[in-house]
Amino acid sequence: MSRVTFRLGLVGAGRMGQTHLAAISTSATVTVTAIVEPRAEVAASLSSQGFITHDSAEALVAAGDVDGFLVATPSALHVEAVRQLSPAGLPILCEKPAGLSVAEASEIQQIVGDSRSRLQIGYWRRYVPALQNLKARIDAGTFGRLLVLHASQWDHRPPAPEFRNTSGGILVDMGVHEVDMIRWLSGNEVMSINSNELMSHESEVVDQDAGVFTMRLSSETLGLATLGRFYPDKDFVGVEVMGELHHEQIDIISGDGGDDVLMLALRTQAEAFALGADPNAATIDDAIAALRAVNTATEMRR
């Protein structure tokens, strides 16, 4: 009996695109069938693995043999990718941050609004079972009044300088995850934000090696995030919630099991995206809220 799967067209098969590819390869309901990748050697390798490859998003749209799109191009090209894909009127799952600024994310919002395409932003932590469970207990009042949420994201080693120099900086590239997770877990909006960063020691890199920010949230709760481009052994992602009644610290990605957590979350995200109508799905409004917070933090220090 043949399985009915949702055919996904992947746009951008770099570091994250290939991670999505590996994660989705174990899904019974979603299959990546076509890929847009301009690097000829990468496209040739993908095509030898049986994927249909295209050299542009327009060619993918023209081929018309997919049910939705996954955008994993560099963040500076998110707007362009969404603009090229939206005429198809199919659902689009766009990697975070959805452009580098509130202006770019708003442009994406306008484009998908005009084409009436469904858009989801790839904030995968919303699909980590331990975080869904944490959110359910926060919502149920287990923690009582929330005092502080602390989110940590410390990468093992930084990405290549070419990526770092166009990523928008550590707050846009990494910090938006922490803003989104804190907003989503607490159900709060960001009222104000203050940040500080450590510039890279490498002269050719215009990115930071570490960053911290604090936020005042709408229900008189504080949010705190710590970000780093260097961490021993493996990537680390964690969250700590301090409430009047309960305290909890969760290592979301840590040590050898971290990859499994990420892969499961990415696959679950793709499957939820294919089905649609998922209350956990990050929207373009969520992406704009995260970018507004980190853009504000950066502008305040100019």
Task: Specify the stretch interacting with ligand NAD by CB under 6 A; choose among 6-14, 105-113, 132-140, 239-247.
Answer: 6-14
- Local structure of 83: helix, strand or coil: helix
**Closest distance of CB 10 from ligand NAD, Å:** 9
Q: Which of 9, 91, 99, 122 binds ligand NAD (CB under 6 A)?
A: 122
Torsions phi, psi for 251 (to 5 deg): -85, 105
Please say which residue, 77 or 198, places its beta carbon nearer to ligand NAD.
77
Q: Which of 74, 87, 161, 187 binds ligand NAD (CB under 6 A)?
A: 74
HSE-CB at 161 with a 13 A cutoff on CA atoms is 7
Task: Tell me, residue by residue from 156 to 195, as one string, x for binding to ligand NAD by CB under 6 A and - for no binding.
Answer: ---x---x---------x----------------------
Q: Confirm or reject binding of residue 243 to ligand NAD (CB under 6 A).
A: no
HSE-CB at 232 with a 13 A cutoff on CA atoms is 0
Helix 102-115 and helix 284-300, axial crossing angle in degrees, nearest 10: 160
**Closest distance of CB 80 from ligand NAD, Å:** 7
Give the closest residue to 261 by CA, choosing from 95, 129, 154: 129
Please say which residue, 163 or 231, places its beta carbon nearer to ligand NAD.
163
Q: Which of 32, 72, 134, 182 binds ligand NAD (CB under 6 A)?
A: 72
Torsions phi, psi for 232 (to 5 deg): -60, 145
Please say which residue, 142 or 166, places its beta carbon nearer to ligand NAD.
166
Residues 29-58 that bind ligand NAD (CB under 6 A): 36-39, 42, 57
Q: Confirm or reject binding of residue 91 to ligand NAD (CB under 6 A).
A: no
**Closest distance of CB 218 from ligand NAD, Å:** 25
- Local structure of 109: helix, strand or coil: helix
**Closest distance of CB 219 from ligand NAD, Å:** 27
Amino acid at 69: F
299: which 2 tokens?
């502008």
Q: 171: which DSSP letter?
A: I
224: which 2 tokens?
């705190």
Distance CA 271, CA 20 (A): 12
Please say which residue, 93 or 215, places its beta carbon nearer to ligand NAD.
93
Task: Specify the stretch interacting with ligand NAD by CB under 6 A; choose among 70-78, 189-197, 284-292, 293-301.
Answer: 70-78
Q: Confirm or reject binding of residue 269 to ligand NAD (CB under 6 A).
A: no
- Counting residues that bind ligand NAD (by CB under 6 A) gives 25
Torsions phi, psi for 233 (to 5 deg): 70, -70
**Closest distance of CB 162 from ligand NAD, Å:** 7
Instruction: Cite the DSSP H helix spans in the chain.
Output: 15-24, 40-48, 57-63, 78-85, 102-115, 129-139, 161-164, 170, 176-186, 258-275, 284-300
Task: Specify the stretch interacting with ligand NAD by CB under 6 A; choose among 1-9, 12-20, 195-203, 216-224.
Answer: 12-20
151: which 2 tokens?
């989110």
Q: Confirm or reject binding of residue 20 to ligand NAD (CB under 6 A).
A: no
Give the closest residue to 208 by CA, choosing from 152, 167, 150: 167
Task: Give me the residues that bind ligand NAD (CB under 6 A), please.
Answer: 11-17, 36-39, 42, 57, 72-75, 77, 95-96, 122, 124, 159, 163, 173
